[in-house]
């Protein structure tokens, strides 16, 4: 599993949800919940099973897809210079998306390289947000995303 691609896709999704002006349909919310569950249970199925389903859901929502593609492009151009301190902390995610008993359990973060550690933090955050009843509203409540988005826009302006 290519962690940079996974990270960028999940972060772009969360940023697109944050900027979304239109509420998600029940079907879209259900799709995100299923993506969260699948990602939690079997992250190795990302490329074959999970990512195609997520991208199909995004393509069906033109407004959300435009925001996703714009964010994904910025993240892809960023490379390995992603400032982790601008991403929402685990405590902030817990505050806006508390774990429920039936919600998928966060995977343990093993002793691995920093890029794999970053991947698990981002994946866990995305799973928590997507598993909420209203992922768009949950993403909007993550105040650190505003700082992260400003960083991305500044980075783009400097290129």
Dist. CA 127–CA 131, nearest whole Å: 6
Any residues with CB less than 8 A from the CB of 115 and at least 6 apart, and which?
A: 3, 4, 80
* DSSP string for residues in 10-25: HHHHHHHHHH--SPPP
pLDDT digits (tens, 9 = 90+) for 43-63: 899 999 999 999 999 999 999
The distance from CA 37 to its chain's CA centroid, rounded to whole angstroms, is 14
CB atoms within 10 A of CB 47: 12
In the 8-state DSSP scheme, what is residue 142? -
| Confidence class for position 144, pLDDT limits 50, 70, 90 | confident
User: pLDDT digit string (tens) for 73-110?
Assistant: 999 888 777 777 888 888 888 888 877 644 455 555 44
Helices 3-19 and 51-59 pack at an angle, to 10 degrees, of 30
129 within 8 A of 135, measured Cβ to Cβ: yes
The tokens of 102 are what? 């039936």
Domain ranges, ordered by start, for the chain: 3-157
Place of tokens 């998928």: 104
Q: Report phi then psi at 23, rounded to 5.
A: -60, 145
């Amino acid at each position: 599993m290519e962690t940079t691609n996974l990270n960028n896709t999940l972060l772009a999704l969360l940023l697109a949800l944050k900027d979304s002006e239109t509420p998600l349909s029940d079907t879209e919310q259900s799709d995100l919940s299923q993506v969260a569950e699948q990602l939690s249970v079997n992250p190795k199925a990302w490329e074959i099973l999970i990512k195609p389903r997520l991208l199909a859901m995004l393509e069906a929502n033109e407004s959300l897809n435009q925001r996703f593609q714009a964010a994904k492009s910025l993240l892809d151009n960023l490379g390995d210079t992603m400032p982790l301190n601008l991403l929402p902390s685990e405590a902030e995610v817990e505050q806006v998306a508390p774990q429920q008993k039936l919600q998928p359990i966060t995977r343990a973060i093993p002793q691995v390289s920093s890029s794999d550690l970053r991947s698990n933090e981002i994946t866990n955050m995305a799973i928590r947000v997507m598993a909420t009843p209203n992922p768009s509203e949950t993403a909007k409540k993550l105040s650190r995303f505003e700082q992260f988005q400003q960083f991305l826009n500044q980075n783009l302006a400097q290129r």
